[in-house]
Structure 1
Amino acid sequence: MDYLVVAVVVALVSTALNLLLTFGVIRKLREHDTRLAPPPASDSGPPTGSTIAPLTATTVAGHQVSIVDADRVTLVGFFTEGCRPCADIIPEFLDRHARTGVAAIAVVVTDATDGETYAERLAEVDVLVEPSGGSWATAFRVSSFPTLCLVDRGGVILGSGNAFTDLPTLTAA
């Protein structure tokens, strides 16, 4: 009988210790998951309803463009060389411009002197090339690429983000 009591006590202590260790492992795994989780996606660009200061620039083709234009709503896209999501969204950027007739400005941000690849692919819209921290990327609060912004005639942001789903629907003019 004494052996039976000892066996039960040993079994209960072992079970309690096993549960305690299991809870400790689960807690550590949750901490590990929290540390490894990607940071929440933050949309790049200015908040909807904010106003962009008037900006002007000379395009790669030599034309003057301005972000504030009384005659048009403007789609502005920021791209950087070597960015796979940028390369993937360029065809849709060009398609939206062609389908809707909305004015489009593509800003290629690069510190390299060979930033012509994206500039050439985007040649059917107004293209600016500027270094990191340039005036357009700074004014539009670009923190990741690609960044898309829809700007009304007075420079008010209608929507911004990293995908077309972040913008209001563009309709044909």
Structure 2
Amino acid sequence: MTVFVAVLSVLVGALCLLNLLLTVGVIRRLKEHTAHIEELRSSASGAPVQIMLPAGEEVGDFSARTVDGAEVSRGSLGGETLVGVFSPGCSACAEQLPLFTELAASFPGGKDRVLAVVVGDAEESAREIAELTPVARVVQEAHGGGTSTALGVNGFPALARIDTAGRVLASGYSVSDVEVLAGV
């Protein structure tokens, strides 16, 4: 019996030592990750993240069909156009969508000068599409679709004003960014 207790004690001691070593390793990794996160935060805080093509860049060619069945392309953007790209389930999109629809409703040229792109599954996008349809030509597409790719979208929401030549006049992730940059 004493041999059994001695073996059991050695085994428990070895397991405790292994647990201690693993815990020290996890703590070391957490410190490294924390340092990397802080480094990323400090480098990102100096410059704003570009959510889509910046002012002065030219929108790529695209062709899509709106939810109403109309054809829309870069060539069909007549005059200055307000563009909004949204995704269902995005909290920032939910915050900016009412502001965007309000701006779109008063945008010069009306619905023909407003393009809204909803990126996501058609079923998930139904609420956004319903809100945007009265004030914009709405395109619903999957992630990586042609319209959002042509606009250089890398996050949501992405908003812009585009001139007749397809050049971005202003872009950002909030309605106020687009209004300020466009001089509204």
The TM-score with structure 2 as length reference comes to: 0.67
Q: Which residue of 1 aligns with 2:69?
A: 62
CA contact (8 A) 2:60 2:151 kept: no
1:1-173 to structure 2, matched below 5 A, reads: 34=38, 37=41, 39-40=44-45, 41-69=48-76, 71-102=78-109, 103-111=113-121, 113-124=123-134, 125-167=136-178, 168-169=181-182
Structure 1 residues 35 and 93: CA distance shift in structure 2, 3 A: same
The structure-2 alpha-carbon separation of the partners of 1:147 and 1:98, relative to structure 1 and needing over 3 Å to count, comes to: same
Per-residue CA shift, 1:140-160, capped at 9, x if unaligned?
Answer: 111111000111001011111
The structure in which a higher percent of residues are helix is 2
Q: Which runs of 5+ in 2 are unaligned?
A: 1-33
Q: Which moved more, 1:73-82 or 1:114-123?
A: 114-123
> Residues 47-89 of structure 1, C-alpha deviation per residue, up to 9 Å, x if partnerless?
2111113322210011122233473211111100011111111
Distance (Å, rounded) in 1 between the aligned partners of 2:36 and 2:168: 39
Q: What is the CA deviation profile of residues 1-36 of structure 1, one whole-angstrom value per residue up to 9, with x for unaligned ones?
A: xxxxxxxxxxxxxxxxxxxxxxxxxxxxx9598258
TM-score, with normalisation over the residues of structure 1?
0.71
Q: Hey, what's the Cα distance between the residues in 2 that align with 1:97 and 1:156?
A: 19
Contact 2:85 2:158 in 1 (8 A): yes
Q: Which has the larger radius of gyration?
A: 1
Seq. identity, %: 32
Contact 1:69 1:153 in 2 (8 A): no
Q: Show the counterpart of 1:8.
A: none
Q: How far apart are 1:100 and its partner, in Å?
A: 2.6
**Runs of 5+ consecutive residues of structure 1 not aligned to the other structure:** 1-29
Contact 1:55/1:66 (<8 A) preserved? yes
Q: Is the 8 A contact 1:73 1:151 kept in 2?
A: yes
Q: State how many pairs are aligned.
A: 143
Tell whether the 8 Å contact from 1:69 to 1:154 is kept in structure 2 after alignment.
no
